[in-house]
Every structure is written in C-alpha cells, then in structure tokens.
Amino acid sequence: MTVSNKSSALILGVCLIIALSSLGSLLGDAAIKFKEYERTVTVKGLSEREYSADIVIWPIQFSSASNNLEQMYESIDASTEKIKAFLESAGINANEISYSSPAITDKSAQRYGNQARAEFRYTASQTVTVYSKNISVVRDVMGKMSSLGKQGIVFTAGNYHSQTEYIFTRLNQIKPDMIEEATRKAREVAEKFAADSKSTLGTIKSASQGQFSINARDKNNPHIKKVRVVSTVAYYLSD
C-alpha cells in the first residue's frame, strides 16, 4: 500500500512538472508575440484647404457732435438715411441692413476740476450694420465709402465694435472629405516609415482627430478662410 502511494505521488509530480513546463512555454510564446504587437509608429496627417466665407457682418460706425441736442439727433438721422440710400443703390438689400440706437455723451456732465471746456457739449455715435451673404457686392461697396465722407459723414474705425467679420458656416459639409484626406496622408507617412525600417504596416492601434481651425488666409483677404485639421494615427508594425 505504501509503495503504491509513493508511485502515484511520483507520477503526479512528473505530470505537474510537464504541465508547468508546457504552460511556461506557452506563456513565453504569448509574451513574445504580445511584445511584437507592441511595435507601433505614430504619425500625423494634415488636411488644409481654402474656402470663401459665407457671411459678412459689416458695422458702419459714424459720429456727430453739437451743442444742441435736437440738432445732433437730426444730424444722426440724416446721416443714417444717406448711408441707407447709398447701400441700397449699390445693391445691398434693405433686409440686410440694421440700425443701433445712437450712443449720446454729454461732455458737460463729465468735466472734472480744471478740465477745459469742450468745443461741443454733445457727441453721438451710431452704427449701421450690414449682414449679408453676398460678400462680393459688400466688398465692392466698402471701396466706395469715400463718397459718403464727402457728404460730411464722419466715420469712426479702429475699435473692436466696428471691425468687419467674415464667417464660414459650411464646416459640417467639408468635414468628412478633410478627415479622409488627413487619415490617408497619415497612412502614407506610416507606409514610408515601415518601408524604410523594413517592417510591415499593420492595423490601426489608435486614432484621434484634432480640432478644426478656421482662420483668415492673410490680413488682406479676411474673406478667404483657411480650414485646417490634423489627424494622429498609431499603427502596429511587424517584421
């Protein structure tokens, strides 16, 4: 009975050793294969295109000054009507023109200490805004504003509120093609890297799409927009 138990224990021990050895070999092979799969290359692909803006927002700001408040309001109204008539005669629709309330400043109420008396007690600024999709017409009109200046209208510019804006609204329409282009260019870079390193390009490990950026092409052509996106893709490599 004792001899039989010893023989059984010996056989069990041998089987355990063989099983553990096989398991270790399998785990070793799996670890090597896993390590091979961890060879990756991360590349970036750029898609960059130029498009015309869709909408222009053009604030036309002008000012007036007087010592008589009623006369100043009359001057503001007259200038507004001149601007409106000029814009409409140049091809801008009436429904594309809007008007703000005039901002009035009473300089006599702002004098402190020995501050010199202002030549005009009241000053006012008014803004006529053009919101249009017909950008070519609006830009053409912008170049003819001097004719209104000759009629005695004093335009103000240079501040934040009087800057012209050009808006691009078709981003959702162009997104798929640009993402496809950026991804294709990323793969071309990865294939070149794989060829140079005598490797084979595998499947995608991970991919991320950067944010789209929309900027003016240059300061002289703000109505032409440069749209840009960068895709980052990681590929597996194998021998």
pLDDT band at 9 (very low <50, low <70, confident <90, very high): low
Across the chain, mean pLDDT equals: 84
* Residue where the block lists tokens 């991804």: 183
- Residue 58 reports pLDDT greater than 90: yes
pLDDT band at 107 (very low <50, low <70, confident <90, very high): confident
Indicate the domain borders of the chain: 1-31, 39-51+170-238, 55-167
**Residue 23 CB-half CA count within 13 A:** 6
Confidence (pLDDT) at 13: 53
Instruction: Compute the distance between CA of residue 167 and CA of residue 223 in angstroms, rounded to an integer.
Output: 8
Residues 112-161 have pLDDT tens digits of 545 566 678 889 999 999 999 999 999 999 999 988 888 889 888 766 66
By percentage, how much of the chain surpasses pLDDT 70? 78
CATH 2.70.150.10, domain 55-167, yes or no: no
Per DSSP, 210 falls in state: P
Q: Which residue pairs from 138-146 have beta carbons closer than 8 angstroms and sit at least 24 positions apart in sequence?
A: 138/56, 138/58, 138/92, 139/56, 139/223, 140/90, 141/87, 141/90, 141/91, 141/92, 142/58, 144/90, 145/60
Instruction: Compute the distance between CA of residue 131 and CA of residue 72 in angstroms, rounded to an integer.
Output: 27
Instruction: Compute the distance between CA of residue 225 and CA of residue 210 in angstroms, rounded to an integer.
Output: 18
- Residue 30 reports pLDDT greater than 50: no
Instruction: Compute the distance between CA of residue 48 and CA of residue 178 in angstroms, rounded to an integer.
Output: 8
Confidence (pLDDT) at 43: 94
Minimal CA–CA distance to 96: which of 145, 125, 135?
135
Instruction: Compute the distance between CA of residue 232 and CA of residue 187 in angstroms, rounded to an integer.
Output: 10
Task: At 42, list the tokens.
Answer: 């991360």
- Residue 24 reports pLDDT greater than 80: no
Residues 70-86 have pLDDT tens digits of 999 999 999 999 999 99
pLDDT band at 87 (very low <50, low <70, confident <90, very high): very high
CATH 3.30.110.170, domain 39-51+170-238, yes or no: yes
- Residue 21 reports pLDDT greater than 60: no
pTM, whole model, 2 decimals? 0.75
Strands 97-99, 103-106: pairing kind: unpaired
Say if residues 71 and 120 touch (Cβ distance below 8 Å): no
